[in-house]
Amino acid sequence: GMIIGQMALSGVKPGRGLAVVLAAAALGLLWFAHANLNLVPDRVLQYGLPAALLVIAALAFNDIVADNPVARLLTRLGDASYAIYILHPFVLRGVAVSLGLALTRISPWAYVLACLIIICIVSYAAWRWFERPVTKALQGSRTS
The pLDDT tens digits for 33-57 are 877 767 666 777 778 889 999 999 9
Alpha-carbon distance values, 134 to 6, 29, 117, 131 (Å): 24, 39, 25, 5
pLDDT digits (tens, 9 = 90+) for 86-126: 999 999 899 888 887 777 788 888 888 989 999 999 999 99
Q: Are 105 and 95 in contact (CB under 8 A)?
A: no
Measured CA to CA in angstroms, residue 9 lies from 2, 15, 33, 55, 130 at distances of 10, 16, 31, 13, 25
Most confident of 14-23, 40-49, 72-81, 132-141: 14-23
Q: In which band, very low, low, confident or very high, does the pLDDT at 68 lie, cut at 50, 70 and 90?
A: confident
Q: Average pLDDT over the chain, rounded to whole?
A: 87
Instruction: Yes or no: say if 119 and 84 are a contact pair by the CB < 8 Å rule.
Output: yes
Helices 16-35 and 49-59: angle between axes, nearest 10 degrees: 160
